[in-house]
Structure 1
Amino acid sequence: MPPKKQEISPKTVITSHVNSDFDAIGAMLAAQKLYPESVIIFPGSQEKNLRDFFVHSMGYLFNMADPATIDLSNTQRLVIVDTRQKSRLSGVEQLLEKPNLIIDIYDHHPSFPDEIKGTYDLSKPYGATTTIMCELLREKKISISSDEATVMALGIYEDTGNFTYASTTRADFEQAGFLISCGACLSTISSLVVKEMKTEQVTWLNELINEMTTIAVNGIQIHLSAIAASHYIPDLASIVQKIVRMENIDCFFALVLMGSKVHIIARNRLHELDVGKILGSLGGGGHFYAASAKVENQTLPQVEMRLMELIEQQIRRVRVAKKLMSSPAITITADQSCLEARQQMIRYNVNTLLVLDSQSSEYLGYITRHVAEKIVHHNLGDQPVVDYFEPDGQSVGLSCDLAEIEQKIIDLKQRVVPVIENRVIVGVITRTDLLNFLVEHNREVVLSEKRDIAGLKPRTRYVGNRLKNHLNQRVRTLLSDIGNAGDSLGVEVFVVGGFVRDLMLERPIEDVDVVVEGDGITFARYFASMHHCRLHQHLKFNTAVIIFEDGFKVDVASARLEYYATPAALPVVENSSIKMDLARRDFTINTLAISLNTETFGTLIDYFGGGRDIKDKIIRIIHNLSFIEDPTRIFRAIKFSNRFGFRIGKVTANLIANALSVGAVKHLSGLRVLSELKQIFGEDNPLPALETMADYGLDKVIHHELKLTDATCALFESVGKTLAWHDLLYSDDVYPRWAVYFMAWLHGYTVKVSTQIADRLMFPLKERELLLEQRIKAEQSIRLIEKSYPVSNQQMYWWLIYFKTESLLFMLALTKNESVRKGISHFYTHQRKIQPLIGGKEIKSVGIKPGPVYSRILNKIIDEKLDGKLNTMEQEIEFARHYAIENNLI
């Protein structure tokens, strides 16, 4: 056993933010020199180059300690460098709760909502926090060794981008020069800050560039890439910086899903955007020009949509006043006459003038043309404006948001609102200005779903060759005809969902689902009339089924959105666009669509990264409330994972566990759960799905006594082999495949438990009889056969003849006696269809009176046929005559 680490009890502790960069490291080293006898806590792991550098060369400079070995009871001071955000600290939570703790903060970041209030707070807008610390060291004339200077210089070089970032200040150059004079090693700095890209990083760089989309918000171009990585990507920030330089991008957001976290790196050169504030709203931080964040347990599309909302809000907030206002503002001083006011309004064709104080030019209120004309009409035009104006001190600044303008004009009933910046009126916003903006804004919102300005922009690519190579001629022609019908009606039509997913997976296509951006029923009627098909309509959901002469079906739906009034309830449906229709679906792999209109035929549309997830073989949910709103998606996630051999993404798995922990499935009706279980048990091999259900505890939600045992697993494997044998020999026989597995699942449970499960799942009467009464009889019969074996053909026949196919297959899987299995399979393949060739008519012709004896004779005939006798009708009639004579029936 290794020796226990000795505890230390420092009076001063120094720390910084998680995943500390060189600037944080350099600032902590400088703080250590400012606070002798202090101890440094490194919060979390550093980047690999940082770790290697300090472990192999500079670690001796730091008085570091493991948080687990520190006794904080005597700590009086906490020094925090390069951050003020509580959410970015780790390992000092207990210390922050300590009363009378002195907190000294040194930082170069802007203010954030969750910042810690320091006892002493020194913040300067320099390019690096290390610059601030170096100034203090120089002021206090504290000597710095060459190794210390190298570490501190690293911080300044890295956080200023080698003095190329817009945040770089004169002080950064000065302190870097000072550190070089102290012996900072430039070759070491160059080897660590100027990083050559590795092969793997080049791969991720290409991935980010390939997935890059450009989104316009109020005329500003925002570049965004969203990808999922199978493992951690080191030094993501440098990859993003490289892309910005290569592509000459003004604003770039990189979103990378790694494990259960979405990592966001932002770089910005736009004045209208502060990426630090945007990512601060997502729990991250940074500057106006560079920021990062990590979002846990949310899906990649969800984070992407939230990010776009924040970007749009900030851009609109910065620009809305400037966009609305009229400039320059037309004004008049309070001592001027009403006649002059009227003449100005006529001259400039305005209905309102801003009234200013004649001495200070301060805004006092406004006067309207209606009031001025009335005063002139009453021969009072010489009177000063001050006697008749509407006093009002309300104004807004250039950075105000739309809500503030609406509140002043609509709620406070102001005719005009001046826009004031630095105590100078730079413009004016009128009711008409606001009304025009709102009308235009509403039009943009309506059109945004098609333009994809405010939301996700789809990734598109041509897959026409895949349609040609994978589909048969009939389906290809059908899709072309659907597109032509869409052109004729002037609507956009798409084939969607499972069709596209299976096409991309090169699996057999079973269903054709079409979505129409418009009235789906009208489209279906038109198509059906053109191609002489039958039509089944569902007016409530605005869907229809087109049925061809040979029974082939095409499902048609109007593009629609859904929302849930309560968890686990059925959705409320409204018509919408293809984007919203895809957004309501369950998993990214089911959100793909292919356009069928002539001009865009074969264009794959992918809003949510479904193509990427198919490639990566992963099941991901779109929204983090999906399992709460519709818990049946939990079963579907398991079903798709099992069917395609895909893994369930970490975020999705966490959301499943969370939904189950809050009892979401308990609200589902039994019939909906049963429907999902039937689909799972209808798969070729449902055992992995059953194992996943058990891992999540989903079986316990159905009934607390359900559990997956080794015996159940073995029985499922036996069922799989039995069904494979049957389907190979009798491929045309139709039977409920799911029922065989369901009987195997319930095997071994008492009648009481089985009945409770049937009640919970609301089994229909016939299925209830099969899974309860028939299953129990099958279990009893197999025990009887095994106990009595060997048995005659007649015994085997009469024990088994009244069981349905699914029960017989269950019995075949259930028995462990190979001889019994062969006996049952022989019955199934050779004997179960043995029946007399004669009937009551032929028996009556022998002279036997009708009655129960007919059944006895027919059963005796079956017994004889089981022994290979009575091969013709004549032989059976003769047997009936002899039987009647022997038993005195004639």
Structure 2
Amino acid sequence: MKIILTHDHMDFDALASLVAASKLYPAAKMLLPKLQSEQVKKYLAIYRDSFAFSSFKQVDWEETDHLILTDVASVKRTEGASKWKDSMEVTVYDHHPLAESDKEDHFTYHIHHTGAAVTILIEEIIKRNIPVAPYEATLFALGLYTDTGSFTYPHTTIRDLKAALFLMEKGMQLDIVRQFSEESFTVDQQEAFQSYLNKADKLVEHGVTMIVSSLEASRFVNNVNSITARVLETTGADAVITVTNMQNKVFVIGRSATDRINLLPLMKRFHGGGHPKAASASIKHGNIKEITGTVKELLPGMITVSVCAEDLMSAPVKTITEEASIDKAKQQMLYYGHNGFPVVDENGKLTGIISRRDIDKAAQHGYGHSPVKAYMSTDPVTISKATSFERIQQLMIQHNIGRLPVLFEDELIGIVSRTNVIEHMHSQTIKRDKNNIKADMQSLLSRPVFDLLTKVGELADQLHFKSYIIGGIVRDLLLGIPNEDIDIVIEGDAIKFAETFADKYGGTVKRHETFQTASVETTDQSKLDFTTSRTEFYKRPAALPTVTNSNIREDLYRRDFTMNAIAASLQPATFGDLIDYFNGAADIEKKQLRVLHNLSFVEDPTRILRGIRFEKRFSFKMDKETESFLRESISSISALTKSRISTELRYLFAATDPAGSIARMDHLNVLDAFLPGAVWNERTAATLNALLIHEDMKDWDRSGNDFWFITVLTLYTIDLDRLRYSETVAETKHQRKFAHELTTLLEHYPSDIFTSPGALHEIAAKTEDDVLVFAECMLKTGDETEQKHSATIRTYRIKRTEISKWITGDDLKSAGLTPGPSFKTYMFQIEQAVLNGDVTNREEALDYVHTLLD
């Protein structure tokens, strides 16, 4: 016999999970616990007969061999605890976190971090294509909506939303969901609520306010968890714990409004469970005074260390001097994308703050030439390195300001902006499956390299710097691709760091003062590149950027795509933690290529070619917005230099299938912008493919200087005018010579010259072999006549390498010729005869000489 159980004090998620499990196990009996929330009781008063519930008395426990637990992971938290035997098979469907140490060896667990337990069961119903009636869908929705707070609770996941969509398709009735999910307290519940407020004992630790309240109830009070949540909402505390003695049991219910308080360890002390912000426990025959005392004693230990200004701030700080003009301040804001600047005097001491609004007003009234000090806000609100996150929020709200300078011994060392605050709040609510890649680093990097990165982080910590791996290495680690081309960004002086690292661990340093970078080659020949974190701005489209020192966030923001704008910390305490301000990890998971900002392609149009390279290399696809930004920026391509375009094309064709990349360029309408006059059609595509598979070309070094150009050259083979124009695309003397030889050769086409190898020798004797291969491939893709001429070129190219010197100058003298220019003519004619097969040995060659003289 199979039995489906859920926890005591059944709420809608427990009830919905119970019924959903019965869809998966139709032969199992559903048992309702005696203790139910008030709203569940009201629901069952109407809908009880719609479901085949059984009572505990109807179960033959001796015949029961399989328990299915829903919304709970322990049999001890169900009414079946006393009936359970170790011999029973147990299957668990739950969404509450469960430590490995708490798992039973013979249990089968289906535990997932979803907002509601019923979501896990709905997914299984969908997978098995099990029919769901509208009344069942409505009950499942009640469990889903109530346990996720109508999808507003932080633990809500996209899986819950997808489950809701499925239920909507199956006919769930939202009016019924609203009717039963809206709670109104009974008289007993209102009295309990008021009692909790009256007996509230406030504890304040580390800037966190907690309330502990106890109640000796003369009769059972239902739905204490909702009452506790209402106390939290009413008092504005960071956490509330209620301890209630009812019917020989003490119930401990906790609700937290902050990530700084994790209630799970507290409830596990009483063998309870739940979520970090919503947990509970029940103790049979417990002593309420002792339990309340224990709660007060343990609660401060549940508080995590507060994030402070030093963790949030951006540094170094971009400032502007008091004497700088409003116009200069406006220009600086435009360059760096800031909405304000701290203002400093000639000694670098903070004297004020000027915002974009201040600057815009001054400029509007014609005071662009005036100094900043005339319009700045004086006596700015400042904070220290230790100012807590909560205090920072309070100050921003209290003073309605968007940035707080951080001072240490009167020196400006950083600034916390609204953006920093929002990013921290966002990072606390968005939970990724992978936010630390230390394990990936250990498995995909060699041991020596991993050890070096560990040493980098340790040294940075000692020097009070911050160190990160960044860009392509992090992307490849997330993709599971080995890559030891490692870029390390230092928040601080990268050259000084590199020198210190080499001194401590051995190695040589190459410094690049202009770019604030340095390379260290260690004693075991490992190489590490160190760069000072920086930002950049573009004075005009397609220009090279102006670069200045900055912080990790701005360093990431200057990059091309979100997938490359991810860093990982090397600091010992956070080693491997991802720094992912722009959700690049999520884009990698979705195989989506997304640009960082809407002017990215305008500022640097070579990012278009890079984007195509990443698409093809990693099988990614630009999102619609990125592709739209790309198409809007095509006009900026004309400002690029020839060398910047050729460099990107070389990278593109070396890393991808050239034909696929060119087809993508054509689809995006950028082919002609990068390569004026180039054409991609069936003929040029066929020519390129023939060239790429030709035995004399397929082993070419694709990263070489000429491969990209010969690839591009195929796009100009439509007509002679375009072919002549291709010489202007060439970057080197050799490339121009190649294009010129090809054009010269094809200027004679079509003609009788191409009907025999000997005739072809007239114009191709000094033509480079690769040029002949190109012409061979080009004609091979044409009609029958062109294919014959292609075969002629191939025969000529092979035979001319086999021309034997059967005739020498002495032979010509012996034949009666006087040395002179005619010697060269006769020798050439003999070569033609050999190429045409008229001469196959020395004797025939001598006879042929006499024929020429007759």
TM over 0.5, shorter chain: no
User: Highest relative contact order (Cα 8 Å, sep 6+), 1 or 2?
Assistant: 1
Specify the TM-score bucket, using the shorter chain as the normaliser: 0.3 to 0.5
Task: Tell me the TM-score normalised to structure 1 length.
Answer: 0.43
